[in-house]
Amino acid sequence: MGLEEIFNWVKEQAGYVLMIVLIVVVLVTAAKRAWIAMLGAVIGIAFVGIFIVNPNVIVNLSEWFGEKLKLGA
């Protein structure tokens, strides 16, 4: 078992934990009828989920942002 398999396993487990946290937060905020908090939690957890599922998004985002600000040229 190599390092890549371990990384993929950890990434998969983090995705499961993230989904469980999302479900709990949505249920708690829905029970309290805190709709804005629920929406904020869903958006925040979605952002974190994107970076866990596809970490290359961070590189692409930083390259795009650097091009827009004309950094490093």
- Amino acid making up residue 43: I
Across 1-5, 13-17, 33-37, the highest mean pLDDT is recorded for: 33-37
- pLDDT given at position 27: 92
**Each residue of 46-56: pLDDT tens digit?**
887 787 777 78
Question: CA-CA distance, 73 to 59, in Å (whole number)?
Answer: 17
> Domain range spanning residue 7?
3-69
More reliable by pLDDT, 35 or 72: 35
- Given a contact cutoff of 8 angstroms between Cβ atoms, the answer to whether 20 and 29 are in contact is no
Is the pTM value of this prediction over 0.85?
no
Provide the domain count of the chain.
1
